[in-house]
Structure 1
């Protein structure tokens, strides 16, 4: 847990810049249907993003928000967050932190969809491009206007692949 204790804004920026291709190396192969390891990892990433967002929305520091998210994962799941997994979860916290104003579950669902797309289809939303960032925000605004958690989730699931996706480089 030592590496989970101290996270700086610079580390979060570096984490955001890590290529999603690193996730591919982490154990999920391209396949037509998601395997259990992919689903489990993306579910953890989504939960991590939700808890992290709750902390940030409560004006907690990056450090405290990350620590709280790790604690929830460690207390609720059999597999503890080791250092290798932690490094793979950080980019999703960084992504969530760059989408201010959205409900925790909206960010969690978006992270889950992004994670699955990266691992299963080797594609990602090139979020760093300003025009793409505005498309993502419009997309999430439209989905969040649906109201309920279930409606927001269905909107994101049904519309995610229509975002401007880019193939991951190998």
Structure 2
């Protein structure tokens, strides 16, 4: 059975680059189908008959060999991504999508860590965990938020975050891939 996977690379940007055209070409040459990328910050969508662990290993091997990239790769199925969207605890925040982020977590965080992070939240900022997704609403801006600044280390588990614009675009690309486009 063929599955559609949303691929989130951690730590892309700044010194670490994954050029999107080369990434698309490398993933396609590696046997993945329907490969699409979205902006130069570590996002891809693809189809494969392989199971999640094999897809993850293969992508990591391709990135190591082709790009010298040795960072975390997070995979979510289209169904899991749709669930991520549906479970958004801050639906009113989608009206300004650059201030709403979803962070895919490798594992559920310890509750004490989430409470500590809440202590950094400025007025109006919020964080909620649903399963292995952290939702952050930073209405004054992610880049100036103390909560956002402390999140990565403070959450205590491997993660990678995307703003809501990217979340919606990746769902659209995954939907297209599921139709064979």
Provide TM-score, normalisation by structure 1.
0.32
- Determine which structure has more spread, i.e. the larger CA radius of gyration: 2
Higher relative contact order (CA 8 A, sep 6+): 1
Provide TM-score, normalisation by structure 2.
0.30
Structure whose residues are more often strand by fraction: 2
